[in-house]
Structure 1
Amino acid sequence: MTTAIRPAGPVKLSISGVGKEFPVRGGSGPMHALQDVSLELRTGEFLVLVGPSGSGKSTLLDLLGGLAAPSSGQILLDGRPITGPGLDRGIVFQQYALLPWRTARANIELGLEAKGIRRRQRRAIADEYLDLVGLGGFGDRYPHELSGGMKQRVAIARSLAFDPEVLLMDEPFAALDAQTRESLQDELLRIWRSTGKTILFITHGIDEAVYLGQRVAVLTSRPGRIKAEVTIDIVREGDDVRSSEQFRRLRHEIWSLLQSEVTRAQGLERLAVSAGTGAAGQ
């Protein structure tokens, strides 16, 4: 398998000075989840976002999906502000979120129904995307008849079928076993190459980030900010990419960026616990 780095296209998604605060019950002020996050995603690019636990990765995805509004800054898709959910963005979550009473094909047809596409055309499109994700012949199966990996394939097909401008993926393979996860990583790269979709992929796995991304953005511990952006210049040839010297070098670079943030987050957590214990003892 060979994956060359694509030339950068025009800016598809622009995140400028974005912050997100949440009120804290009984606290002296709000909790800052994100602060001054700025990032650009170009057309056809595969960007991976990593960060320590609690760094605001999923909060940022909620903002991009229009499921929440930023406290400051702005998010533009094709130059237009994101003000709520829309069919210009497809979202794939860690949990598959398939409707259990609908078949795999009918789940894929959901976004097509929202677009007002006629039944016969919906079925043809759904079958096309079932084939794309390697599930041709499984269209009449219900979610309880599918494995975890197959359910996630259906979720990916559902998000691609209505042709969104950007595909947002929130740790979609985290709940799967290692073998299935690696298989779906390869499948996702194949789908990305064949569709040319713009993808923002969130993960806590460094190996996954290096393997999938053209570029990896590293978030700091809370409040999340962009600490660094690392270009993944691997030319993937053969089946042993993860053992290459290039892969190990990039993995170590991102690990080093993250390790200091994890250490800082743990230190802040110990201080918070100590402060709480002291207050309780007074």
Structure 2
Amino acid sequence: MAKIVFESVTKTFPVRGRGRKNGRGGEGEFTALDSVDLEIGPGEFMVVVGPSGCGKSTLLDLLGGLTRPTGGRVLLDGAPVTGPGLDRGTVFQQYALLPWRTALGNVAFGLEATGVPRRHRAAKAREFLGLVGLTGFEDRHPHELSGGMRQRVAIARALAYDPDVLLMDEPFAALDAQTRESLQDELRRIWQRTGKTVVFITHGIEEAVYLGQRVAVLTSRPGRVKEVVPVSFGDRGAGATGEDLRSSPEFARHRHEVWTLLHDEVARAQRLEKEEAAA
């Protein structure tokens, strides 16, 4: 059975004044997602890409229970998602760390909500900081950590209370290229070790291909699933020769496939923006 199911999911938002020209929404209504069907298996790493404004983050908000669909259903383990829950952990682009708490304190904060006794929190928080490679940085405050380290703390906090599903909304977008690639490797290692189901939103085609077992490509607004691309490399670690996966012919082929699917949608989204600006 699928872990996550989007079943004919539509999401509209009210807007003041005249309705936007999106082909579906009525007067005073904006359609972000339209009849989305998507299944994600247990333990799968699913990446979602699409043009700006196509509803990627809305999709994640629906799964996180932060908003509810206008039509259709979002199912988790066969039950409708009706609100937030500790079975889902979320990592955002902005770290959202508590500045007055140390790295250890930030991770322990996530454990308080699950009722972990105080005497056990520190040990468990240290365990997950170790999992993301931050042993020795437990007593540092967020302002004493680099951007990449802060995002590692955010990942450790999301994992510490052991959610079944990890939701990630462009978590590496604000980082420099070298740090981003390092954290991509770290995340892939954590996923392989923990077996979590991961739903990862990104604008980056290379990031999508490098991380995802499958890549769901959304259309321009209103967002629909255009195609789901399977990505298979066998062993995703560096090969026997130490060659980076990103330089392999298989990577280039998958990247081109996703780019081709996105190309027309990005152009269509840009045309729509110009039409709306001129209206």
TM-score by structure 1 length? 0.92
Match for 1:260: what amino acid?
A: D
* 1:267 corresponds to: 271
Match for 1:211: what amino acid?
A: Y
Map 1:4-153 onto structure 2 (within 5 A): 10-27=1-18, 28-153=27-152
Contact kept in structure 2, 1:46 and 1:201, CA below 8 Å: yes
Contact kept in structure 2, 1:22 and 1:30, CA below 8 Å: yes
Unaligned runs of 5+ in 2: 19-26
Report the CA distance shift for 1:115/1:204 in structure 2 as closer, same or farther (over 3 A). Answer: same
- Aligned residue pairs total 266
TM-score by structure 2 length? 0.93
Q: 2: CA distance between counterparts of 1:110 and 1:220? A: 38
User: 1:271 Cα deviation (Å)?
Assistant: 2.3
* 1:249 corresponds to: 253
Q: 2: CA distance between counterparts of 1:259 and 1:23? A: 29
Q: 2: CA distance between counterparts of 1:45 and 1:65? A: 17
Aligned Cα RMSD in Å? 1.0
Q: Deviations over 1:63-103 (max 9, x none)?
A: 11111111111111111111111111000000000011111
Q: 2: CA distance between counterparts of 1:228 and 1:45? A: 17
Q: Does 1:228 align with 2:227?
A: yes
Contact kept in structure 2, 1:87 and 1:111, CA below 8 Å: no
User: 1:111 Cα deviation (Å)?
Assistant: 2.4
Would you identify which runs of 4 or more consecutive aligned residues in structure 1 move more than 3 Å? Answer: none
- Return 55-64 or 166-175, whichever deviates more: 55-64
Q: 1: CA distance between counterparts of 2:243 and 2:81? A: 40
Unaligned runs of 5+ in 1: 1-9, 277-282
User: 1:29 Cα deviation (Å)?
Assistant: 3.0
Identity of aligned residues (%): 68
User: 1:257 Cα deviation (Å)?
Assistant: 0.4
- Return 10-19 or 253-262, whichever deviates more: 10-19
